[in-house]
């Protein structure tokens, strides 16, 4: 299957992308991983991206698009892939369509994880990360540490990222609504959109997603 995953910040895209990719036996292609890999390997696109980032400027769409194309052409993506964080705007969506057409392939579905805005704010603003190991993540409501402010795993100090405050989250949501949300209508017009609720336990959302995607694929076939 070839899938695009969309949804607001805090919808659980990273978690679902990882689980879905494993469940469907396809590679998870995330924008963050693309940038890290290209920059660490010193590819021409990585060098170009780093020059913009070091100057505090936004990386142009064509650089991101180039990285995504290169990754989708790798052998492990021949049978399908799950795109997470790409496309991020209409220009990128149109570029993806053009690339897929060139390759003679098409998307099977675009999975939209729907979460009420107040829930998004609650999820992100309540998140606490470990200073020793950023992979250790807690939440003031959903996953409280045994001792307040202390990581259960390694004893590190728990802190709130500066962009996880309620004010910062609402700014990120505004950016999502203005830049990324238009691709939902774009894919809906193509008959590719599948919208599911991202509320509930991780496995419940995954089951919902797999069922919806398989139904969409069967309908398209």
Q: Which residues are catalytic?
A: 13, 88, 127, 161, 172
CA distance 116 to 84: 20
Pair 61, 94: CB distance under 8 Å: no
Which residues are within 8 A (CB) of 151 and not within 5 positions of it... i.e. 6 or more apart?
Answer: 130, 132, 133, 136, 138, 145, 157, 158
- Dihedrals phi, psi of 219, to nearest 5 degrees: -65, -40
CA distance 80 to 94: 19
Walk across the sheet containing 2-6 and list its strands: 28-30, 81-84, 2-6, 109-114, 193-197
Q: For 178, which DSSP code?
A: I
Strand partners of residue 143: 139
């Amino acid at each position: 299957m070839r899938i695009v995953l969309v949804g607001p910040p805090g919808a659980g895209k990273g978690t679902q992308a990882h689980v879905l990719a494993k469940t469907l036996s396809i590679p998870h292609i995330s924008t963050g991983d693309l940038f890290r890999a290209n920059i660490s390997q010193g590819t021409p696109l990585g060098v170009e991206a780093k020059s913009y980032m070091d100057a505090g400027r936004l990386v142009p769409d064509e650089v991101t698009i180039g990285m995504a194309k290169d990754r989708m052409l790798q052998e492990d993506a021949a049978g399908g892939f799950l795109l997470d964080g790409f496309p991020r705007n209409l220009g990128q969506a149109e570029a993806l369509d053009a690339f897929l057409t060139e390759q003679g392939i098409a998307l099977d579905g675009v999975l939209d994880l729907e979460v009420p805005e107040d829930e998004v704010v609650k999820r992100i603003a309540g998140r606490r990360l470990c200073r020793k190991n950023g992979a250790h993540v807690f939440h003031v409501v959903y996953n409280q540490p045994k001792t307040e402010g202390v990581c259960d795993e390694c004893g590190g100090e728990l802190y709130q990222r500066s962009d996880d405050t309620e004010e910062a989250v609402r700014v990120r949501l505004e950016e999502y609504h203005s830049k990324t949300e238009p691709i939902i209508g774009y894919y809906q017009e193509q008959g590719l959109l599948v919208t599911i609720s991202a509320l509930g336990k991780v496995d419940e959302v995954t089951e919902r997603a797999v069922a919806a995607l398989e139904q969409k694929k069967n309908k398209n076939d």
